[in-house]
Structures are given as structure tokens and as C-alpha cells.
Chain A
Amino acid sequence: MAHGNANAHSHSHEGHHDLESLRSMGFWIFLMTDCILFGSLFATYIVLHANTAGGPTAHELFKMNGVIAETFILLTSSFTSGLAVLSMNQGNRKGLIGWLIVTVLLGASFITLEVTEFVDMVHEGAKISTSGFLSGFFTLVGTHGLHVSIGLCWMIALMIQIGRHGITPVTRRKVNVISLYWHFLDVVWIFVFTIVYLMGVM
């Protein structure tokens, strides 16, 4: 057993890079746990989707136009968040912030559409307390919406930080992490779209 200074916490500049890579790895693992969380919610939805207890069915309820618009908007925002990362890698701070703003706006319109859709449903008498099916539906889709909303707040906070500090190893990692998160939510939405909406109206 010898001793040395070559270690993850040494105070060289590499040390700092290492810290950032630890955090990215932690975030990947967090995403895995989030996958399991959504997996469990999908499972409950699938178990309950036929239990309408005399309430409206998926077929009667879903309006596909709005849902397709939501899907399109979210996919685009995933693309623009990718463009933000590209600008960052070119060292273009203005481009980075610009694309982040576009992403936030798209995300916000997605949420607006979703909330309108929910409000309409409730007005038609399809509430979370109406049936097992609707409990599963609102909880699954709502959890995804909550994730998107948290992502929006976080992105705005991040833009302020980039404005203050510029592109540093820390902000670079934060941008990478949030774009990862954003793509992840996109993938989850594709499952929501297929399993909840498409299979619901079919």
C-alpha cells in the first residue's frame, strides 16, 4: 500500500472535471429510478384502463387533434434543446440562451395545451374521482406534466446562471444534464402517446 496524490479529489483542474463527471453519472442513475417510477405508473394505468365504472371511456374522451399538437410541440422542443447543446459546444453563449428560450416557450405551450385538455375533461364530468381508469390517466399524464413543469423552472434558473457565469465546466454539465432530462421526458411522452392515447382511441 503506497500513497499518492493522483486521486479524484486532487486540486488540479482535472479534479474539477472529475467532480462534474460524478454528477453526470449520478444524474443517469436518477433517470433510471425515474424510469422505474414511470414504469410503475404505466403498469397501474394498464391494469385500470378498462375499469371505467360507468364513466366515460378512453374512446369517448380523447380528442386526438390536441394530443397530436402536443406531441409535435414536445418533439420540436427536444430538438431545440439539442440545438442549445450544440451552440454551447461551439462556445456560443447567445445561441445557447436563445435556443433554451425557444425550448422553454415550446414546453410552456405544451403544458398550456395539456392543462386545457384536462380542464375540458373535468367540465365534461371526467374527473380523477370518476373511475379507476381516469384516476390512472390523470395521475400518469399529470406526473409527466409535472416533470415538464419542473424542467421549465429549472431551465429558467439555468439561463440566469449562464448569464451570470458564462459557459463554465459547471454550467456546461448543468446544460448537458437538463437536455438529457428533456430528451428523457420526450421518450416517456412517446410511450404516453402510444399506450394511453393511440391504444385508447383504437
Chain B
Amino acid sequence: MWDSIKEFASGFFVTGDPLIYGADVAIVMTLIAVVSVLTYFKRWTWLWREWLTTVDHKRIGIMYVIASLLMLFRGGVDALLMRTQLAVPNNDFLTPEHYNAIFTTHGVIMILFMAMPLMFGLFNLVVPLQIGARDVAFPFLNSLSFWLFFWGAMLFNMSFVIGGSPDAGWLSYPPLSEMSHSPGVGQDFYIWGIQISGIGSLMTGINFIVTILKMRAPGMKLFKMPMFSWSVLSSCLTIIMAFPILTVTLALLFIDRYFGAHFFTLDGGGNPMMYINLIWMWGHPEVYIVILPGFGIVSEVVATFSRKRLFGYKSMVFALMCIAVFSFFTWAHHFFTMGSGADVNIFFAISTMIIAIPTGVKVFNWIFTMYRGRVSFPTPMLWVMGLILCFVVGGMTGVMLSVAPADFQFHNSYFLIAHFHQVLIGGVVFSYFAGLYYWWPKVFGFKLNEKIGKWAFWLWNIGFYVCFMPQYAVGLMGMTRRVSTYGWDTGWWGMNLVSTIGGFIMGIAFLFQVWQILHSIKFMERDTTGDPWGGRTLEWSIPSPAPHYNFALTPIVDGRDPWWEEKLRRERGEAPKAQPPLEPIHMPKNSGIPFIMSFCWFLAGFGLVFNWLWIAIPGFIGVAACMLAHSFNYNTDYYIPVDEIERTEAAARGAV
């Protein structure tokens, strides 16, 4: 009996690595701490009522941001572990197996559990406010999307201490990811963690398309819509085209592994190359899904801090849409070297290069917006400047990669690693940081400390260039990606050491940001204006943080920068227009179903990972029961009475 328990435990829990024991202890301690704090302060019902069941897009946005920053931490620790391993030749800090697991989970976590949720967080925090809506189109679905992401991410992260991490790369190419080469549970964690959160992403895509197309304030024609909302629309259109392909790809890989089918196997008539095509038909658009909203943020920030209208609005919209469409015609540039033949490679090389044109248009528009503007440089604008520089360099190395014959040299080298980090960190992360700093006062009602923020900015940027510029060079010197160690004779060690130092500088920069947030929570003054930056769009016309119904009265829009124009009118001393009386506001009720249903998905996924049907089947039954419960519930909304709106507004304006 005892022996069989011990045997089970040693297979179930990951054992034998001091780093992992450390993580075990940390996880257990954190759990104990969270549970005891909640119990001590009697916060369980508060947690459930105010957060876990909320359908308020602003709160959902906050939860997305918190979760993604935690994931940034985990992914960042992974990165530093890898850089530590590579700092000196012949290092044995990490075993090769452990190294494989770390680069795999690092990639997955950064793209799917950090960048995507940070992006969804910004969608939720900003889009309804910016288009003058009271909510998103489907608040219930919105909450469900969040919890699916959350439980999917939990499932994926668990693999680290239970069962074993996936280690076949962040895109899990077969045959490495097939039963024949990865018989453990790691790949199944990969499949179900991503699948569950991916369904959530797909639903967010649908939700925001309908929100943007149908719920704009009266008078806001599509071509009067703020640029961030345009970028969200283009990103969501790409999501709904790309994510079903991911769903299918992961499902097929699962069917191969679980039922012994032959989609991607080497034997039985399977075709591994089909997986590589499918996954990149999702994967390439995916990188544009995360960068497009970044472009939108930059456009907003540049216009605000140049005190000028955005230059070339229509060309900007056109560029966004072009990129969204073209991203679907470039996927094969990820495997130029895998024998497609010259004609196919030429097609994909040219289609890749074409994307540089609309991207260039955007960069010029931003620069022309600043030209002759009254430009100032608070932290959001600093991040934008950092981004523009980084993205121009990253775009150019991208075009270098897109030259198919040259790619035979660059492919799978550190040159590629440097390229995609330059666009992912320098483009995606930097622009989202700009967005977070910019909208932070709208969400929480106070600004973040500028001084610590500037330190964080410079450390991030210096660290970035110190880390990745040597990687371009070492890539050209022949260092390939995914090597866990190298010898003295290669001549790579100097570059690698510098690169590692850069990585740690970025780690310190992140700590500065944490300090900045904690410091600001404690010391920053409340912003009672609701418009600390001198903004141009509707979200700045309401108090911060926004009341849960957003707008007491629905704004009627007549221009592209409605709040800016309103302020100009007020300055000119024009009498404000007569306002209609307040009316009760129709709001959705909170619901616990999204949380419970996503948890059931988690159980189902967990059961399938370990092939324990006694967990998986109840999980799926729970999912179905939740769906039915939701379908039978007709009591989903309520009205906020006028006097409550009046009280809330007065309090928000500091009158009480």
C-alpha cells in the first residue's frame, strides 16, 4: 500500500530537481498566505461577489492585467534561468531536459498567457469607454472568456510541478510532440491549457467585434472612431479567422496522442508537415493579433502628447486592415528551409515584404503627428519613443529574414531569436506598457509615479539592447537557437555573457515597475479631473475610476476627437448644450456560472491529461450543466435607479 502510494507520487509530482522543490515550497506558501489573509479579513464573500462573479468589463480588465503581469514574472524567471545557463560555456546549471522544458514554457507563457491577456485587459479597460458604451455586447461571455483563460493558464502552469512540463518547443512540432517521442503528460498539459484558454480568446474576438460594430455612441460613425478601437477591431477580425485553426490543430494532435490516430505521425499515413502548415496559419496571424492593438495605443498616445490630431487617420485605418489581411498570406516564411520549392518560397517572401509597407506608413504617420506638435514626454510617451525605434529595427531584420535564400542562413539561429524578441518586446510589450501607463489613471483614479517610471523605462531599454544586439551577432557567427550549452572553442562566450547581463538589467527594470506600482498606490494623489493627460477621446470625459455604468448619459458624438473639441468649445466660452434628464440604466447581473463552468473545463482537461475519465467525465457534465443553467436563466438584468446614479456621479466628482 505505502509503496504504491510512493510510486504514484513520484510519477505524479515532479521530483529530483532542487529548483522545482523550491517552486513547490513557494507555491504552497503562497496558497497558505492567500487563504489565511482572505480568512483573517473575512474577505471570501467579498472576493466572490465583487470579483469572481463580476461581469463589469472594467473589473474583468483589471483581473486580466494582474494575471498577465504574474505570468510576465513567471516567464521572466524562465528567461533568466535560460540566460544564466548560457552565460558561460560548458555550464551545467540546467540539464538539457530541463532547458527544453523551460524554453517551451517560456514561449507559450509569454505569447499566450502574458501578451494575449494583457491585450484583452486593455480591450476591456478601454474600448467600451472609448466608444461611449455602457458595456461590452456580451458581458456574461466576457467573464467566461476571462475565466477560461485563467483556468487554462492554471492547467498549463501546473505541469511544472505535477506530471512534468511540455518540452517540444512553443509550437510543439510533431513528431517530437507525438506519443512516440513525448510519452509523458507534458504535451497533454500543453494541448488542454492552450485549448481551453484559446476558446476564451475566440469568444473575446466575437464579443469585441459586435461591441465595436453595434454599440458605438450615437454619431460615432466608423470613420470617427478612435484609432485604438480600430486596431482592436482589426485584431479581433484576425482572431476569429485564426483561432479556429488553432482549435482544430490542437484537437488533431490530441486525437493522435489519445486515440492513436495518424494525422501527424511518421507512420500510418500521417503527415507532420501538415501540422507545421496548420500551426503557422494560426501562428503568424497570432503575432499580428498582438501587435495591431499596440499600433492603436501608439496612435492614441502620440496624438495626446503632441496636442495634435493624428496625422493620416484614414491611411492608418487602411494600413491596419491591410496588415490584418496580409498576415494570412505569409505563414510559410517560417519554413522556407523545409523544402517548399522556389516558387512557393518566392510567393511567401514577397507577401512578407509587402507587410513592411503599411507598417512603414504607420511609422511615418506617427512622426508627422509629432512634427510641429507641442510634444511632451511623460512615461507613456517615452515608451512610445522606445517602441518606434525598436520596431523600426525589428521590422528591418524581419525583412532581412523574409529574403528566402538569406533565410537559409538565418533560420533557427540566434539572429531569428533577436528579431522576434525585438518585435515582441520592443513592439508588443513596450506598446502595452505605454497603454498601461496612459490609461492607469482612468482605471484606478491616480497616476503612477513618473520618476520611478523613468528609471524603469531606461533600464528596460538599455537592458533590451544589451541583451539582444549581441544575439544578432552571435547568430551570424553560427550559434543556433535551443542549444543548452556550448564550448569555449566556438568563440560565442563574450557575446553570450553580455546578453545575459542585459537580461538581468531587464529583470531589475521589472522590479522597478513593481516598486513603482506599490509606491504609487501608497503615495500618489487622487486625480479628480478624470483627464490628467489632456486627452482627446470619450474615456477622458467621465470621472476616474469610471462608475460601473460608465456614462450617466450616453454621449452624442460629432467629431473625431469629441472630448478635445468639447474642451475647446468650453474654452471659447460656449454655453454647454442642454442635457436631457437622467434615466434608469439597464445593467447585467453578476453570475457565478462563468467561474464554475471554466473550473469544470479545467477538471475535464486535467482528467484527460492523466487519462482519468473519472475526473474528465464529471468535468464535461459540469460544463454542459452550466450551459443549460445559463440558458434557462431569464433573470439576468436589472435597472440602476436615477437617484443612485445622481449619488454616484456626485461622489465621483468629489462633491460628497
Decide yes or no: A53 and B580 within 8 Å by CB, A7-B217, A29-B210 being known contacts: no
Q: Which residues of B contact A34 (CB under 8 A)?
A: 244
In Å, the complex CA distance between A8 and B586 comes to: 10
* B162-210 at interface with A (beta carbon < 8 Å): 202, 206-207, 209-210
**Residue in chain A with minimal CB distance to B260:** A129
Q: Is the CB of A1 within 8 A of B269?
A: no
Residue of A29, A34, A160, A161 with highest tally of chain B CB at under 10 A: A29
Decide yes or no: A51 and B269 within 8 Å by CB, A4-B556, A139-B261 being known contacts: yes
Kindly supply a per-residue 1/0 record for chain A positions 90-134, scoring 1 wherever the CB is within 8 Å of any chain B CB and 0 otherwise: 000000000000000000000000000000000000001111110
Decide yes or no: A40 and B214 within 8 Å by CB, A3-B553, A5-B553, A170-B634 being known contacts: no
In Å, the complex CA distance between A53 and B270 comes to: 9
Whole-angstrom distance from the CB of B627 to the nearest CB of chain A?
9
Q: Is the CB of A1 within 8 A of B214?
A: no
Decide yes or no whether A187 CB sits under 8 A from chain B.
Answer: no
Q: Which residues of B contact A32 (CB under 8 A)?
A: 240
Decide yes or no whether B274 CB sits under 8 A from chain A.
Answer: yes
In Å, the complex CA distance between A146 and B37 comes to: 45
Decide yes or no: A33 and B269 within 8 Å by CB, A11-B583, A22-B214 being known contacts: no
Kindly supply a per-residue 1/0 record for chain A positions 18-59, scoring 1 wherever the CB is within 8 Å of any chain B CB and 0 otherwise: 000111011001101110110011001001100111000000
Whole-angstrom distance from the CB of A96 to the nearest CB of chain B?
17
Among B206, B245, B262, B579, point to the contact of A26 (Cβ < 8 A).
Answer: B206
Q: Is the CB of A6 within 8 A of B268?
A: no
Decide yes or no: A51 and B271 within 8 Å by CB, A128-B261, A157-B632 being known contacts: yes
Q: Is the CB of B214 within 8 A of A5?
A: no
Q: Which residues of A contact B263 (CB under 8 A)?
A: 44, 48, 132, 135-136, 139
Decide yes or no whether B48 CB sits under 8 A from chain A.
Answer: no
Q: Is the CB of B270 within 8 A of A33?
A: no
Among A7, A33, A48, A51, point to the contact of B244 (Cβ < 8 A).
Answer: A33
Decide yes or no whether B510 CB sits under 8 A from chain A.
Answer: no
Decide yes or no: A1 and B562 within 8 Å by CB, A44-B252, A128-B259 being known contacts: yes
Decide yes or no whether B218 CB sits under 8 A from chain A.
Answer: yes
In Å, the complex CA distance between A128 and B269 comes to: 12
Decide yes or no whether B476 CB sits under 8 A from chain A.
Answer: no
Among B141, B562, B580, point to the contact of A4 (Cβ < 8 A).
Answer: B580
Whole-angstrom distance from the CB of B283 to the nearest CB of chain A?
14
Decide yes or no: A37 and B244 within 8 Å by CB, A1-B541, A9-B134, A132-B271 being known contacts: yes
Residue of B271, B566, B586 with highest tally of chain A CB at under 10 A: B586
Whole-angstrom distance from the CB of B545 to the nearest CB of chain A?
20
Kindly supply a per-residue 1/0 record for chain B positions 580-592, scoring 1 wherever the CB is within 8 Å of any chain A CB and 0 otherwise: 1001111000000
Q: Is the CB of B206 within 8 A of A29?
A: yes
Kindly supply a per-residue 1/0 record for chain A positions 126-166, scoring 1 wherever the CB is within 8 Å of any chain B CB and 0 otherwise: 00111111011011000000000000011001101100010
Q: Could you list 5 A-B pairs, sorted by A, with CB under 8 Å?
A: A3-B554, A10-B583, A33-B244, A40-B278, A44-B278
- The interface of chain A, by Cβ under 8 A from chain B, is 1-11, 15, 21-23, 25-26, 29-30, 32-34, 36-37, 40-41, 44, 47-48, 51-53, 128-133, 135-136, 138-139, 153-154, 157-158, 160-161, 165, 170
- The interface of chain B, by Cβ under 8 A from chain A, is 133-135, 137-138, 141, 202, 206-207, 209-210, 213-215, 217-218, 240-241, 243-245, 247-249, 251-252, 255-256, 259-263, 267-271, 274, 278, 538, 541, 551, 553-559, 562-563, 565-566, 577, 579-580, 583-586, 624, 628, 631-632, 634, 639
A4-B555, A40-B248 known, 20 other contacts, Cβ within 8 Å: A1-B541, A1-B563, A3-B553, A3-B554, A8-B214, A9-B134, A25-B213, A26-B206, A30-B206, A33-B202, A33-B206, A44-B274, A48-B269, A53-B267, A128-B259, A129-B262, A131-B262, A132-B269, A133-B269, A139-B252
